[in-house]
Amino acid sequence: MIPRVTATIDLSAIRSNLATLRRLAPRSRIMAAVKAGAYGHGAVPVARALAGAGIDALAVACLEEAMQLRQAHVQAPIALLEGVISSEEAALAVYERLQIVVHDHWQIELLERLPGSARLSLWFKIDTGMHRLGFPVADVPRLVEVLRRHPGWSFAGWMTHLACADEPDNPFTREQIERFGRALDGVPGARSIANSAGMLAWPEARVDWVRPGLALYGCSPLPGRSAEALGLRPAMRLEGRVLAVREYAAGESIGYGRTFVCPERMPVAVVSVGYADGMHRAFRNGTPVRVRGRTAYLAGRVSMDMVTIDVRGIDDIAVGDPVLLWGEGLPAEEIAGYAGTLSYELFCGLTQRVRFNYVGGAI
């Protein structure tokens, strides 16, 4: 049985991207973001590959994601980026040896209610302008006091998150870094500021810990700078298969809503991927794909199970041919623009129906 849609994940590309990021920030430790199923690449195989390559820590959004990794015997330190929301979660997090990112005073109260013997490990998240999660910078002295009251707690460090790191000319990033530095002036503890864009574009954000996600998967988060130019290799290749090839006369329309009309007599191929696989319906006419080493273009609306492509000039196309939707030579971050979205969302949107294959290392 030939799978309709295949995501091939190259674990050696992920290890190579990790090495590239280590060279970029040789004095920083790396906390790899593997939340959302390692951005759709598969949490367990990716976490194992990173652990095998000596990752310093992993980061997930929530307890369920961390438990999945622990159940797969991933032993690396794991940080819970959204922290915990109940004392049950806090107790489980301690039991699973997770680092809890604490972003509000009510979470401190939860943690203080745990048995005194609980071996707690935590980060404090400071809001320097993102205004999503985090303590206001003015709370730092109170937090230092909390740590003083709890000498048994293991403190991993201070974390903040950048709002505009992917805009190299935006002065707000420097402003956030300065606010963080001022708030923590003279305060002991490790610091962590940067996601992928932060560490790639802002050398001053390469402090004790960096927290890349997207870059590990081989995508550039920076508009105008390709992954290739940054030394990153795409880890995912998404492919559908040609199901049919037909010729239509000029003036005939293709698919739902007749959004594509053949300008001349032309061949159209049907490919086995649709929005039920994660191929966004927003992909517009003209979105490039690759088949037989050449570029073809979406022609007509994405439907649930299929897309149709303009294959003029690809005379040798045949049923069964793989059609590359994104991957090496067709960067997901560029393709995403044709659906008005980001590679992050493409990756996270892949569904159960996609067959995952892993190459480039043991899983």
Q: Which is nearer to ligand PLP, 20 or 195 (CB)?
A: 195
Report helix, strand or coil for 258. helix
**Tokens read off for 124:** 């404090």
Q: Which is nearer to ligand PLP, 161 or 191 (CB)?
A: 161
The CA R_g of the chain, rounded to the nearest whole Å, is: 23
Nearest to 326 by CA among 4, 1, 9, 43: 9
Is 125 assigned a catalytic role? no
Q: Which is nearer to ligand PLP, 192 or 272 (CB)?
A: 192
Residue type, 134: G
Nearest to 198 by CA among 21, 327, 16, 55: 21
Of 15, 211, 237, 301, which one interacts with ligand PLP (CB under 6 A)?
A: 211
Q: How far is the CB of 61 from ligand PLP (least distance, A)?
A: 7
161 belongs to the binding site for ligand PLP (CB under 6 A):
yes
29 belongs to the binding site for ligand PLP (CB under 6 A):
no
Q: Give CA–CA dist 287/339, Å, rounded.
A: 8
Q: How far is the CB of 198 from ligand PLP (least distance, A)?
A: 8
Q: Catalytic: which of 95, 125, 256, 358?
A: 256
Return the exposure string of 259-289: e unless at least 16 CB atoms fall within 10 Å of the residue's CB, then b: ebebeeebbbbbbbbbbbbbbbeebbbebbb
Report helix, strand or coil for 214. helix
CB-closest chain residue to ligand PLP: 213
Q: Residues for the chain: how many in total?
A: 363
Q: Which stretch binds ligand PLP (CB under 6 A): 109-117, 191-199, 306-314, 351-359?
A: 191-199
Is 358 assigned a catalytic role? no
Site track 75-114 with ligand PLP (rule: CB under 6 A), x = hit: ------x---------------------------------
Listing DSSP states for 189-213 in one string gives S-EE---HHHHHH-GGG--SEE--S
Q: Which is nearer to ligand PLP, 130 or 261 (CB)?
A: 130
Beta strands in 249-316 (DSSP E): 253-254, 260-261, 266-271, 288-291, 294-298, 307-310
Q: How far is the CB of 22 from ligand PLP (least distance, A)?
A: 15
Q: Which stretch binds ligand PLP (CB under 6 A): 14-22, 49-57, 194-202, 260-268?
A: 194-202
Q: Which is nearer to ligand PLP, 146 or 215 (CB)?
A: 215
Q: Which stretch binds ligand PLP (CB under 6 A): 6-14, 136-144, 214-222, 277-285?
A: 214-222
196 belongs to the binding site for ligand PLP (CB under 6 A):
yes
Return the exposure string of 2-14: e unless at least 16 CB atoms fall within 10 Å of the residue's CB, then b: eebbbbbbbbebb
Q: Which is nearer to ligand PLP, 167 or 252 (CB)?
A: 167
207 belongs to the binding site for ligand PLP (CB under 6 A):
no
Of 173, 195, 220, 272, which one interacts with ligand PLP (CB under 6 A)?
A: 195
Q: Which is nearer to ligand PLP, 206 or 301 (CB)?
A: 206
Residue type, 147: L
Largest CA distance in the chain: 79
| 158: CB partners within 8 A, 6+ apart | 123, 124, 125, 126, 180, 184, 187, 189, 190, 191, 192
Q: How far is the CB of 160 from ligand PLP (least distance, A)?
A: 9
Cα distances (angstroms) measured from residue 103 to each of 122, 127, 260, 271? 10, 9, 50, 46
221 belongs to the binding site for ligand PLP (CB under 6 A):
yes
Q: Which stretch binds ligand PLP (CB under 6 A): 90-98, 190-198, 288-296, 334-342?
A: 190-198
Q: How far is the CB of 213 from ligand PLP (least distance, A)?
A: 3
Residue with tokens 């302008």: 129
Show which residues are catalytic: 35, 256
Residues of this chain that interact with ligand PLP (CB under 6 A) are 33, 35, 81, 161, 195-197, 211-215, 221
